[in-house]
Amino acid sequence: MNWFNLVQTAIFLSALLLLVKPLGIYMALVYEGKPAGLNVWLAPVERWIYRLSFIKPDMSMSWKTYAAAVMLFNIIGIIVVYALQRLQAYLFLNPMSIPAVPPDLAFNTAVSFATNTNWQSYGGETTLSYLTQMLALTVQNFVSAATGMAILAALIRGFVQKQVETIGNFWVDLVRSTIYVLIPLALILSLILVSQGVVQTFKSSAKVALLQPTKDADGKIISEQTLALGPAASQVAIKQLGTNGGGFFNVNSAHPYENPTALSNFLETLAILLIPAALCYTFGFMVRDRRQGWAILAAMLIIFIPCLLSCIYFEQKGNPLFDRLGVDQNATALQPGGNMEGKEARFGVTSSAVWATATTAASNGSVNSMHDSYMPLGGLIPMWLMQLGEVIFGGVGSGLYGMIAFVIIAVFIAGLMIGRTPEYLGKKIESYEMKMASLMILIPPILVLVGTAVSVVLPQAKQAIFNPGTHGFSEILYAFSSTANNNGSAFAGLSTNNFFYNLTLGLVMFFARYWLVIPILAIAGSLSRKKVVPATQGTLPTHTPLFILFLVMVVLIVGALTFFPALALGPIVEHLMLGGG
């Protein structure tokens, strides 16, 4: 790793941290209903939405009612997205006359976008019409992200409120997240992306003459190329900001029409982590102890930065098999050096590795390079970040409430160690909260490991593996790690557009999202009913370096103990087989 890699990484992290506080304060004011600029100017729009939807904004909900509203809204979203895919051949804004999506793929895609996973077993430009891309997928990119933010807001109220039975109004939290946070940020980013060359048009695909005609496999002369177009910029902006990740085009953000320049690449990468990082400060602001938000953000960075630098190192180091052949893999003025397989020349190793680490630390899943082509340990980093439960930044809202579940577990363990009733932010952490937090920690690993085990046994699942051996196992493990943690990125080499994978991965995405939503809302309801316990000399401080380190170790130990055997069968043994040492 050279100095340029370090400078590039430092610039990215510095830009991210500079934006955390202002955006974090703004979002806290939005959720508290206090003046924050846009929520004053757009207040008539908010009230109009409530009247149109027959929403009573002053009516606060119990956690069960809140959970029911979340489930109802998301199930309706799944049905609408499924219907639009099945009917797109008969609807407008389909200039390429793309036929209806098959039932199993439509189910998988509908669940994928409603759960903020955005797993794609299809090529966007060849499978979906413009109407489906906009009305189905882009809308879900907004509201699935807003759902996660709303649930986080409800959890924060559980810590703030004292002896009440309610945790807020889901519809209010959903609307405010969308119109005051996601839409303004997406509008700004989409305009910048258009200026960089990201396409935004309703025109059909264009055919252009090749500068040099060529021949296909049958010897037929090919003299022109079809360039896919469409309203991409509006979807690309929210896919990054909402940690959605679904690509308008098949190769996602490696496509020059989604991510054409170094500036667009930097801004899109920054957008992936922007809201998840800022929500840490929002949390501290709303609980009236900003040190708590900084502590959680510090824990995330302590894990994220070494993973980021490791991924850059393993990719910059290159392929040991090339070294034996005498191939020069050093960075020079004429070549970027390192493992450039599956990476865009305009981005190089560092920008690709930064994106790969950011997109899997957050539950984003967009890619600007092919993770399947990374070196074994370089590919292990993104996989393991997902397996930690998407709590290192994670999805908007969902990442932070997942990390708070780990905080609850860490506080509970620490309390047992010192012989005191565990407390966090003045609320006692008792067996009920611990049970709910344990469910959140256990459900994703169970879905990953059971799904992987079944897939390496069933013949119809094994037939979809194009790369046999350890790498094929890694591809299956990555697929279930991605879907069970609502990420959406994939190793190539595994053909998932078949009935088995469309069904199983769709079910995994559904249960991984909503089985976690219910326990976290149950925690919010339980905490909201409790009184605040005054801090004493025996109260465990949860903002100190000692507790931050303790929290980091809890997250790492859970991830290591759960997935090390599986990783040893995949990327680790593949690294040793390559002679990586």
Picking from 531, 490, 525, 528, the residue whose alpha carbon sits closest to that of residue 509 is 490
Picking from 359, 379, 507, the residue whose alpha carbon sits closest to that of residue 443 is 507
Please tell me the distance from the alpha carbon of residue 37 to that of residue 418, in angstroms, as a whole number: 46
Helix, coil or strand: residue 580: coil
Q: Residues 95-102: contacts with CB within 8 Å, 24+ apart?
A: 95/130, 95/202, 95/203, 95/204, 95/205, 96/129, 96/204, 96/205, 98/126, 98/127, 98/128, 98/129, 101/127, 101/128, 101/132
486-502 per-position pLDDT tens digit:
999 998 888 999 999 99
541-555 per-position pLDDT tens digit:
999 999 999 999 999
What angle, rounded to 10 degrees, do the helices at 545-567 and 431-455 form? Answer: 30
- In which band, very low, low, confident or very high, does the pLDDT at 336 lie, cut at 50, 70 and 90? confident
Q: What number is the average pLDDT over the span 270-275?
A: 97
SS (H, E, C) 267-325: HHHHHHHHHHHHHHHHHHHHCCCHHHHHHHHHHHHHHHHHHHHHHHHHHHHCCHHHHHC
Instruction: Check residue 367 and give its pLDDT.
Output: 95
Q: What number is the average pLDDT over the span 24-35?
A: 96
Do the bridges between strand 221-227 and strand 423-424 make them parallel or antiparallel, or are there none, so unpaired?
Answer: unpaired
Instruction: Check residue 119 and give its pLDDT.
Output: 95
- In which band, very low, low, confident or very high, does the pLDDT at 323 lie, cut at 50, 70 and 90? confident
Mean pLDDT score across all residues of the chain: 93
Other CB atoms within 10 A of residue 457 CB: 9
Instruction: Check residue 581 and give its pLDDT.
Output: 57
38-82 per-position pLDDT tens digit:
888 999 999 999 999 999 999 999 999 999 999 999 999 999 999
Is 217 contained in some domain? no
Q: What number is the average pLDDT over the span 16-35?
A: 96
Contacts of 511 (CB under 8 A, 6+ apart): 443, 447
Helix, coil or strand: residue 221: strand
Instruction: Check residue 276 and give its pLDDT.
Output: 97
Instruction: Check residue 11 and give its pLDDT.
Output: 95
- In which band, very low, low, confident or very high, does the pLDDT at 580 lie, cut at 50, 70 and 90? low
Residue for token digits 């309801």? 525
Is 486 contained in some domain? yes
Q: What number is the average pLDDT over the span 118-124?
A: 92
Q: What number is the average pLDDT over the span 167-186?
A: 97
Q: What number is the average pLDDT over the span 406-417?
A: 92
SS (H, E, C) 315-360: HHHCCHHHHHCCCCCCCCCCCCCCCCCCECCCCHHHHHHHHHHHHH
513-563 per-position pLDDT tens digit:
999 999 999 999 999 999 998 887 778 899 999 999 999 999 999 888 899
Residue 343 bridge partners (DSSP): 369
With a cut of 80, say whether residue 579 has pLDDT above it: no
206-230 per-position pLDDT tens digit:
989 988 888 888 888 998 988 999 9
Q: Domain residues for 274?
A: 3-210+227-577
Helix, coil or strand: residue 83: helix
Q: What number is the average pLDDT over the span 178-202?
A: 97
Instruction: Check residue 340 and give its pLDDT.
Output: 92
For the chain, how many structural domains are there in total? 1
- In which band, very low, low, confident or very high, does the pLDDT at 160 lie, cut at 50, 70 and 90? very high
Is 220 contained in some domain? no
Is 107 contained in some domain? yes
435-449 per-position pLDDT tens digit:
999 999 999 999 999
Q: Which residue has the higher pLDDT, 3 or 167?
A: 167
Is 553 contained in some domain? yes
Instruction: Check residue 216 and give its pLDDT.
Output: 82
Please tell me the distance from the alpha carbon of residue 142 to that of residue 164, in angstroms, as a whole number: 30
- What is the percent of the chain with per-residue pLDDT over 90, rounded to a whole number? 83
